[in-house]
């Protein structure tokens, strides 16, 4: 009799209890620089009459925001001022613009409506689920599942997921882990060098110190040219990441995808994934926030959740044997 394996379409939105984020401490000299940069950043804030003012104030006041820009600038205050100024401007350009050259106040990365990027998520080419041993939310990238042509919306979809990863960061954790799995990737589904450069620019310049861990696995030799092509555009910190490490030394087995050697037998279903992601991170239909749904609360029981009904679907799988949990099914092992 074939061994049965429990599979689930439930995403993991809390780290294991023993996760240990790094606690940053600063010298007296560094604290002085933090104060100086914060005072400077406050002079750049939009007027209170601007609709985006609350978002900008919240972003600047978030724990670790000022400190990250200084760490990324090697504690050079003038460089940190330049970088935080550029990020504030990045969020201001329209979504149709080149995201890597945008201003924060127009691009509004924290207000991307789910419906705008939902089609990009239909195949699970980016999935946010689980945490590493230090409590970093994990973004799985699977280029082999590419389903759309290159467009600004692809970058908006990526930024949407980065923002959701930030939403799920536990206390004392301010970075995420990216796991890029090139399994089944072909030349036709590999991201263009242009798109890769845009991604690197956004992460390095506007999500400074957010990429705590980046890992590439299952990279076929035929795609080595792609990695070599984008390496000149990486900063040294981003470039100094790992290829094909022992993932169980970095991620708890119960939260690592079974396809990569873990014990988390996740099976992607778009409707279930999108519904959970928006509910657990508190994203409204217009991209703004409300109080996130507690993990044990069924999102579909909340009629006020303003998510397009088209994305609402049953969690129960049509195949396999039901285990009594709407998000879990049993299916024969391969």
Residue 313 pLDDT exceeds 70: no
Q: Are residues 87 and 115 in the same domain?
A: no
Give yes or no for a contact between 329 and 320, defined as CB atoms under 8 angstroms apart.
yes
Domain annotation covers residue 328:
no
Identify the domain boundary among 89, 109, 129.
109
Give how many domains the chain has, as a whole number.
Answer: 2
Q: Are residues 44 and 131 in the same domain?
A: no
Give yes or no for a contact between 211 and 175, defined as CB atoms under 8 angstroms apart.
yes
Q: Are residues 221 and 238 in the same domain?
A: yes
pLDDT digits (tens, 9 = 90+) for 151-176: 999 999 999 999 999 999 999 999 99
Residue 87 CA to residue 75 CA, distance in Å, equals 17
pLDDT digits (tens, 9 = 90+) for 261-282: 999 999 999 999 999 999 999 9
Q: Are residues 287 and 200 in the same domain?
A: yes
Counting beta carbons within 10 angstroms of the beta carbon of residue 292, is it exposed (0 to 12), middle (13 to 18) or buried (19 or more)?
middle
Q: Are residues 116 and 243 in the same domain?
A: yes
pTM listed for this prediction: 0.80
Q: Are residues 104 and 233 in the same domain?
A: no
Domain annotation covers residue 176:
yes
Counting beta carbons within 10 angstroms of the beta carbon of residue 232, is it exposed (0 to 12), middle (13 to 18) or buried (19 or more)?
exposed
Residue 328 pLDDT class (50, 70, 90 cuts): very low
Give yes or no for a contact between 7 and 320, defined as CB atoms under 8 angstroms apart.
yes
Helices (H), the chain: 28-42, 53-61, 65-72, 77-90, 104-107, 114-117, 152-168, 193-206, 224-230, 236-239, 270-281
Domain annotation covers residue 287:
yes
pLDDT digits (tens, 9 = 90+) for 196-232: 778 888 888 899 999 999 898 887 765 565 555 545 5
Q: Are residues 84 and 163 in the same domain?
A: no
Q: Are residues 175 and 62 in the same domain?
A: no
75: left (phi over 0), alpha (psi -120 to 50) or beta: left
pLDDT digits (tens, 9 = 90+) for 36-82: 999 999 999 999 999 999 999 999 999 999 999 999 999 999 999 99
Residue 243 pLDDT class (50, 70, 90 cuts): low
Written as six digits, the tokens of 141 are 């990238």
Residue 147 CA to residue 191 CA, distance in Å, equals 11
Task: List the CATH number of the domain containing 181.
Answer: 3.40.525.10
CA 226 from centroid of its chain's CA atoms: 22
Domain annotation covers residue 156:
yes
Domain annotation covers residue 323:
no
Residue 330 pLDDT exceeds 90: no
Q: Are residues 226 and 120 in the same domain?
A: yes
- Supply φ then ψ for residue 179, to 5 degrees: -120, 110
Q: Are residues 93 and 39 in the same domain?
A: yes
Identify the domain boundary among 49, 79, 109.
109
Domain annotation covers residue 331:
no
Which of 1, 4, 6 lies closest to 327, judged by CA?
A: 6
Residue 184 pLDDT class (50, 70, 90 cuts): confident
Identify the domain boundary among 40, 74, 109.
109
The pLDDT of residue 235: 57
Domain range for 244 is 8-16+111-315
Domain annotation covers residue 61:
yes
Residue 109 pLDDT class (50, 70, 90 cuts): very high
pLDDT averaged over every residue in the chain: 81
Domain annotation covers residue 329:
no
Q: Are residues 241 and 150 in the same domain?
A: yes
Give yes or no for a contact between 107 and 100, defined as CB atoms under 8 angstroms apart.
no
Q: Are residues 187 and 294 in the same domain?
A: yes
């Amino acid at each position: 009799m074939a061994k049965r394996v429990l599979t689930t379409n439930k995403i993991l939105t809390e780290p294991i209890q023993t996760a240990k984020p790094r606690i940053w401490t600063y010298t007296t000299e560094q604290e002085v620089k933090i104060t100086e940069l914060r005072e400077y950043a406050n002079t750049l804030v939009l007027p209170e009459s601007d609709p985006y003012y609350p978002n900008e104030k919240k972003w600047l006041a978030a724990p670790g925001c000022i400190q990250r820009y200084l760490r990324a600038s090697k504690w050079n205050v003038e460089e940190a001022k330049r970088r935080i100024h550029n990020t504030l401007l990045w969020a201001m350009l329209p979504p149709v613009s080149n995201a890597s050259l945008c201003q924060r106040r127009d691009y509004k990365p924290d207000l991307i409506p789910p419906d705008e990027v939902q089609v990009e998520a239909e195949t699970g080419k980016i999935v946010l689920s689980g945490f590493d041993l230090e409590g970093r939310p994990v973004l799985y990238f699977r280029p082999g599942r590419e389903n759309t042509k290159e467009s600004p919306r692809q970058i908006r979809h990526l930024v949407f997921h980065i923002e959701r990863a930030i939403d799920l960061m536990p206390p004392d954790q301010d970075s995420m882990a990216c796991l890029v799995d090139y399994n089944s990737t072909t030349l036709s589904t590999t991201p263009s060098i242009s798109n890769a450069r845009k991604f690197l620019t956004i992460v390095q310049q506007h999500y400074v110190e957010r990429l705590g861990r980046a890992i590439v696995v299952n990279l076929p030799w035929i795609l080595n040219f792609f990695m070599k092509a984008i390496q000149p555009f990486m900063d040294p910190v981003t470039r100094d990441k790992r290829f094909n490490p022992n993932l169980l030394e970095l991620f708890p087995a119960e939260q690592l995808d079974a396809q990569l050697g873990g014990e988390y037998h996740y099976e992607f279903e778009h409707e279930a994934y999108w519904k959970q992601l928006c509910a657990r991170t508190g994203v409204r239909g217009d991209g703004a926030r409300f109080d996130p749904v507690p993990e044990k609360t069924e999102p579909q029981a909340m009629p006020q959740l303003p998510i397009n009904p088209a994305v609402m679907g049953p969690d129960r799988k049509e195949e396999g044997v039901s285990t009594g949990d709407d998000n879990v099914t049993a299916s024969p092992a391969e």
